[in-house]
Structure formats: C-alpha cells, structure tokens
Chain A
Amino acid sequence: MRLVFLCVATGLAGLVLAVSATGAVSSSRSSQADSSTLTELVSTFGNGQFLPRATNEGPANEAHMVFATLLTERNGHLAPGLASSWTASPDAKTWTFTMRKGLTFQNGQPVTAADAAFSLLETFGPSVLKDSTTTGANVAVARELLGVTSSGNTVRMRFKVPLPYFGDFVSGSLAGSIEGAVFPKSYFLKVGRQKFNHAPIGAGPWKLIQQSSQSMKFQRFDGYYDKSQLSKFEFLKVNLVPELATRVEALTSGSADIVQVDTSVVSQVTGAHKKLVYSPESNYIFDQWQSCWKPAMLCHNARVRQALDLALNKKLIMSQLYGASWQDAGWQMAMPGALGYRPDLSPGNQDIAKAKALLAAAGYPGGKGMPTVTINVISDSAAIPRLPDFAQLVAQEWKQELGVNTNVKVSDFASLDSRQGTGALDGSLYIRDNQGRYDGGSFLTSLYSGDVTNPNALSKNPALTSLISKMNAAVAPAARATAYHNLYWAARAADYEMGFGSLSNVWAVSSRVSGWKPLPLNGNASGLWTISVK
C-alpha cells in the first residue's frame, strides 16, 4: 500500500515539476531576453472588434494601434493624419480631405483616396443604420450624410446639416472611437466584414499578426506615415488578464512589462521595486443629478445643488482616495488638454458657510425637512477604483456639514445605466466613470440641449440650450474654443454636475521600460514610441 501511494505521489510531483520547468522557464525567458518584445497586460479587450463602425461598447483599444485615421490630434489641436490637409466649408456641411501620397497599408497595398472614401462610407454610410453594432456618433452622422466621393487624391463628404466637429470624429481622439480609420477597400471586400474583424489591415503603427480570445500580438509597421511615432521595439504582446492581483504578480515575476493597475496597488508595486507611469487626464468621476428639470425633484432647486456642491472638500476626498493619479484641474470633461479648457475651470473650493446659507434659502436650514438624497454609484469601474468609497465620503460630508441624510446605493454599471434609461434614477445623484476626450461637443449636446427624450439629459435650462446652439454653430477653431469654454463655465455654475478634477490611468512597468510618456486624454497604453527598452 505504501509503495502504491509513494509511486502515485512521486509521479504526480514529478509531472508538475517537469511541466513547470518547461513552461515557466520558456515564458520568462521570452520576456526577459528578447529586447524586441514587450508584454502588456490589460483588464479588458472591450468588445474585441476591429471594425471602425462597431462603436457599440467601443472598439478594442488595440484597434487604435492597427489603424491610422484621416486626422489626428496633437497638443489639443486637430492635425494631419493620413490626410495631409483638410478643409471645412464655411457652413461646415462639406468636408474635404487631401490624402498623403506614397503610403501603403500593412499588406503592401497603396493607400488611396478611394480607400478612404470606402472606409468613410463603411463607417458613416446608410448601412450603419441597420447595424446593431453601431451606436455612437456615426449613427447621427449617417442620418445626415448626403454622400462621399473621391477624385484624384481628395475625398469629399457632404452633409445635410452643419457638422463643425466632424473633424474630431475622424481624428481618433474621441473616447474609444476609430471612426476615421482608413482600410484597404479591395482587401475588405475580398475577406468580408467578419473575417476583416479577425484579420484587420490598416495603416497604423502596429500590424496585428496573431489573435486569440485572450491575447494579441502586434508587429511594428515601419511604413507608418509618422516615423517619429514608431516604437523602438518590434513586437508587442497584449494579454487579457482580468484580475488585478494576477497582473501585479505577473509583473513582479518578470513575465510582463506593462501592466494596467490602479491606485489600490501603488504600495504593492513600489514595494516590489517597480515603477508607476500615469496616463494623464484619462478619466473623471462623472457625477450627474438625474432629471432635475422635473419640478418634483429635490435637485430641481438650484440652491440645493449648489449647496451640496459647496459643502464638499473635494481636494481632501480626491487626494486621499486617488493620490498622485488625481489632478486638481479641470471640470468634468473640460480637462486641461481638452477644447475649451481654461484654468478657471476647476473643481472649486469648499465653502461651508455659503453652502449652509444656500440650503437655508432653499427651505432646509440645517438639513431639516430635507428628503433623503440618494446616490447611485457603480461598483465595477475598471478605470476608477473605490467609487463606492467616494460616494460614502460625499454622503458623510453632507451629513456632517449640512445635516443632510443620504442613502448610497451600489450596483453594477450595466444595471444602473439601463435603469437610468427607464427613469428609475430620477432625482438621484448618479456617479460613474467617464473617459476624457479632446472634444466633448457631442456629449455636452446630449446633456444640455434640452432634448429630454434622451435619459442622459440633465437640464431644460434655456440659457444652457442657447449656449449649446452657439457651440454647435462655431466653426473656426478659436470661436469653437471660446464657445466651449462659455458652455463649460455656465454648466459649472448650474451645478447639474459637481466636478472633481481629472484622473490618470495608472500603469506599472518593469525595469525594462524607461522613458515612457503616455499621451493625455488617452487612457490606453499610448505613446509607446517614447519607450526605451533595456
């Protein structure tokens, strides 16, 4: 009997060790010895789609690596991309793009205006109206599109209505969007939409060479038009590892180089002698009073909203929860790098005396007689941790400073977002995360245009509606920046959103990675060309 068990145990142990020796040594070697390859771990691949029209839940972050867009964004301004220049008609109904010459796609085919026209039609054309994967701005554009034509080296798009921010739609700068991506027409038609999704070809700085449900491997594409943005390393492996603790341990063991983390593991990462890198202005806490335009809602009273805002010590709350990843600058989407930002747009300072006076003027001195305020907060933000803690701190401050009772309800994002659509959150403060972006025009329109059939609408305030119209009518860049600022300033004063500054995505990197500078307003692992590999 003893012999039997000894044999079984020895056999099993030997099997484990043999397998582990084979697997672990090879995997760690592949990461450490190969200076041409970096390994990145992320928590999600989004909807995993490489189709620019698939704006439903946002295309895979990695799609930004594969595709180059018509325009791009540099230092807060639109800049040439695959198009070397562009013009918008004075009424912003016609946009014309002139393509660069001599460029090729990742499969060697030349990049032409005909490809660009095809790509734009595929992304913004009438067929998207019948595609359930498209839910973003491209749907609105498709409704207004009159036609896309190409001639020689130019592509022209005509719309029924002015679209002054169409340039941003095709710049890849909108959160999660690659709607300006250009891909080869003949290849797309040859393989079909579904196969293209699994084997995409673009003109971006990285070519997708392997893909599974859990990992992607990219190879640097040296034909990319902007040589200054080509990485110094040749291969990038991106692996899906949902669990934060696993990602951190993988970094510690040397089997990963760039790992998506958050502020909850800062001490663990630094304790393991790894470095932290921040993607500035990636996200913000999106707090929104729901349906306050309805007179029956407590938040319909502007004094109540303003009092609750002024009662909060935002610097204390945010610095304690988020440390170095928080910037005390910017108001909601108006982050320092965004269109319309000026330094006067900030979270604001606590003013308890004024808050109490406002609350008393609203009919609730010391919080007496005031109904309980409800905060609905999401529990599962991948970008901003500890949102339930944040909500609790807000509730505590209201109680302590104003005597206001608050009920904090925590739920997952999908559940809360779907309930928002049915009006179930009316009157409450809904707290979730949201990504930073350069041009918040379309987003602001949904919030403040007064179209209350949109459940995200925050107000029917005619002053704000008027500023929305002015914003959407401004075409020249300077005029747009001023119009955006005016809207942000007025929205801040109206206090349908309180604003808590901006937050950075946090990355932990191994000692192989140095010099990395991610781009602002981009939560992905951007700016890879700044990395030097040791």
Chain B
Amino acid sequence: MGAPSSGEYVIRVVSRRIVEAALALLLLAFIVFMSAHATGDPVHYLLPPEASSAADVKRLSHLLGLDKPLPEQFWLFLVNAVHGNLGTSFIYSRPVGAVLWEALPATLELALVTLVFSILVGVPLGVLAAVRRGSLVDRITMGTSILSMAAPQFWIGIMLIVLFTAKLRLLPAYGYGSLSNLVLPTLTLSLTIVAGIVRLTRSSMLEVLGSDFVKFARIRGLSPTRVIFKHALRNALIPVITFAGITLGTLLNGVIVVETVFAWPGLGYRTVQAAVELDFPVLQGAVLLDGLFFIAASMIADLAYYVADPRLRDRIEAAR
C-alpha cells in the first residue's frame, strides 16, 4: 500500500474531519446543554405572575419536557438531533430547524459577500503595502488598518448609518432583501476583516519577497508583476487562507452587533435572543449549527491549502 493519491488525500481529510466533527459536536452539545440549564429555569420566565402557581409550573414543565432528569433530557435531545429534530422553540412554538433555517440565508449572504469583498480589497492592499514598504501608501494602509481594528463595530455601524442614511440619504439604515441593504453591514464587518487581511498579507509578502527563490526569479529577468503575483503571492497566501477560514467560521455564526444595528435577520441575533430568553432548544440548535460551520470552514481551509500550496501536492506525489 503506497501513499495516497490526490483524490485519496481529499477523501482522507474529509473523513477524518467528519469523525472529529462528530466528537466535537457531542462535546459542544453537552457544554451548551449544561450551561444553558445553569442560567435559569425558563418555566418561571415564561409564566406570567397571575399564572405561576405550583400547578402551573408543573404543567408547563411537563409540556416542555423540563421535568425529566437532566441526563434523560440530554439523551432525548441527542437522539432527536441525530434524526434531524432539534426540538421546538419555547418562545416561538415552531420547530427549531425552521427558526434557524429562516435565519440561514441572511447569514450566508452576509458572510460570503463580506469575506469575498474583504479578500478582494485586503489582499491587493496588503501586496501594495509590502511592495511599497516604507512609502506613504504603506504608512496610510497600516495606520488605517490599526484604526479599523480598534474601532468597535457598533460604533462603525452607527457612524456609517449617520453618514450614508441620515446625512447623504444614499443607503437604507436597516432591512434585508435588496443589494442596497447589504452595503452598510458588509462595510461595517469588512473594515475589521480587511485590516487583518492587509496586515497578514503584507507581513507574509515581505517574508516571501526576501526569500531566495524570489531573488532568483528576479535575476532570471521575470517581470515584477509576474514575480509578485505568480510566484510570491501564492506562497504568501497560506496564512491568509488560515485567517479567511477562521473568519468564515465566525461570520457564519452570525454577527450579533451588526445584525442588531442593521436589523439583519441572521443567526447571531437569533442565538443571542435564545440565550437571553432561555429558549434552550433554539440555543442548543444554534450552537450546534455554529460548531458545524466552524468545522466546515476549517475543512475548506485545509482543502484550500492543498490547492494553493504545491509543496503539499509534491510531498504526496513524492511519497508514492
């Protein structure tokens, strides 16, 4: 039996991730189940004062399944979850799957657009800053990135609304459904992400541009553009891929601040509301979904390494 082929490598990565995912999700489910129950009893929260007698508490606890021992509740949750049933929301009285599914398109849309936009803007700026190291462009880029990372997203979002909605009347302050609704939330999120990508790309490029193979490429007479984009950038992108993978996972979990400010109907707002309102089924379902997203993002990043880094492919081929 020799080393795996490229296709086998991909299958192996995916298979290993699935096993790791199952274990991680089981642990995550346990942690969120226990911590959710530790925050309080939703029955007392759901019952109004005029209907909170012992009989009322007993009735509602039984209907919600909260009168069962905790291990039994957790086991039932796991069994149902495996069959695709995440339970019923205590607050909305709808299947958890439907509640989360409703929020998923908005989250996916914002996450993907933000990430693509951030990469399209951040990578070129990072390359520019590296190539023009020490210049005014470099200093402005680095300074702006620090400010972007330091400013709170809530403040950025509100300031963008004040400028583009209240003053200039160019963009809507809230809502979902049209392209114009996407602009301000994307800008708010991507300011921080672009700053991270710029700095990462710049430092990675500087390292690669100083390496021997780049010097050799220059000596061979290759054009600067070819040296930078065909040879240097590809190697410099590895840490950026890592950052993008983590960022994608974070974005897919929903971003509560931006969703609240712009009334964006995503998963972040739903998850936080579920935590605040002790809506255990939605909270558990949302956190499991978040875990899945992180695992998926991590898997995508691993596969992206394989595509981007020829040394990885060469190592596999050499071992055959």
Q: Give A residues with C-beta under 8 Å from B.
A: 1, 4-5, 8, 12, 16-17, 19-24, 27-28, 41, 47-49, 54-57, 129-133, 135-137, 139-140, 194, 212-215, 239-243, 245-246, 249-250, 252-255, 380, 412-415, 417-422, 442-443, 445-447, 451, 453-456
Q: With contacts A139-B51, A246-B158, A413-B45 known, what are 11 further pairs, Cβ within 8 A?
A: A5-B124, A16-B183, A19-B182, A23-B171, A240-B263, A242-B260, A418-B41, A418-B43, A420-B44, A451-B53, A456-B49
A421 and B44 in contact, given A1-B225, A249-B162 (Cβ under 8 angstroms): yes
Distance of B295 from chain A, by nearest CB (Å) = 27
Contacts of B75 in A (CB 8 A): none
Closest to A250 in B: B173
Instruction: Assess the B265–A422 pair: CB atoms within 8 A.
Output: no
Chain B facing A: main interface SS: helix
Instruction: Assess the B172–A27 pair: CB atoms within 8 A.
Output: yes
B25-66 vs A, CB cutoff 8 Å, 1 = contact: the mask equals 000000000000001111111111111111111011001100
A23 and B52 in contact, given A249-B161, A380-B276 (Cβ under 8 angstroms): no
Contacts of B40 in A (CB 8 A): 414-415, 417-419
Give the complex CA separation of A240 and B106 in angstroms: 15
Give the complex CA separation of A227 and B158 in angstroms: 42
- Highest count of chain B CB atoms <10 Å: which of A16, A41, A55: A16
Contacts of B166 in A (CB 8 A): 249, 252-253
Distance of A454 from chain B, by nearest CB (Å) = 5
Instruction: Assess the A137–B53 pair: CB atoms within 8 A.
Output: no
Give the complex CA separation of A442 and B53 in angstroms: 13
Partner of B165, one of A139, A249, A445: A249
Chain A facing B: main interface SS: helix
Closest to B132 in A: A1
- Contact residues, B102-138 vs A (CB, 8 A): 102-103, 117, 120-121, 124, 128, 131
- Contact residues, B230-281 vs A (CB, 8 A): 260-263, 265, 269, 276-278
Q: Give B residues with C-beta under 8 Å from A.
A: 39-57, 59-60, 63-64, 88, 90-94, 102-103, 117, 120-121, 124, 128, 131, 158, 161-162, 164-166, 169-176, 178-183, 224-225, 228, 260-263, 265, 269, 276-278
Contacts of B260 in A (CB 8 A): 242-243
The 4 closest A-B pairs by CB, nearest first: A23-B180, A421-B44, A418-B40, A453-B54
Instruction: Assess the A246–B172 pair: CB atoms within 8 A.
Output: no
Give the complex CA separation of A255 and B228 in angstroms: 47
Instruction: Assess the B92–A412 pair: CB atoms within 8 A.
Output: no
Cβ contacts A to B, 8 pairs, < 8 Å: A20-B171, A24-B172, A135-B48, A194-B94, A212-B265, A214-B263, A243-B261, A243-B263
Give the complex CA separation of A453 and B49 in angstroms: 12
Contacts of A48 in B (CB 8 A): 92
A22 and B179 in contact, given A135-B51, A136-B51, A139-B56 (Cβ under 8 angstroms): yes
A213 and B57 in contact, given A1-B131, A136-B48 (Cβ under 8 angstroms): no
Contacts of B56 in A (CB 8 A): 135, 139
Give the complex CA separation of A132 and B46 in angstroms: 10
Instruction: Assess the A246–B261 pair: CB atoms within 8 A.
Output: yes
Instruction: Assess the B263–A255 pair: CB atoms within 8 A.
Output: no
Give the complex CA separation of A20 and B164 in angstroms: 9
A418 and B278 in contact, given A242-B269, A443-B49, A443-B50 (Cβ under 8 angstroms): yes
Contacts of B42 in A (CB 8 A): 414, 418
Closest to B279 in A: A414
Partner of A132, one of B60, B170, B181, B263: B60
Closest to A434 in B: B49
Distance of A96 from chain B, by nearest CB (Å) = 25
Instruction: Assess the A23–B172 pair: CB atoms within 8 A.
Output: yes
A20 and B170 in contact, given A56-B46, A135-B46, A418-B44 (Cβ under 8 angstroms): yes
Contacts of A23 in B (CB 8 A): 171-172, 178-181, 183
Contacts of B45 in A (CB 8 A): 413-414, 417-418, 421
Instruction: Assess the B93–A54 pair: CB atoms within 8 A.
Output: yes
Instruction: Assess the A446–B172 pair: CB atoms within 8 A.
Output: no
A445 and B93 in contact, given A135-B60, A253-B169, A420-B44 (Cβ under 8 angstroms): no
Give the complex CA separation of A140 and B48 in angstroms: 12
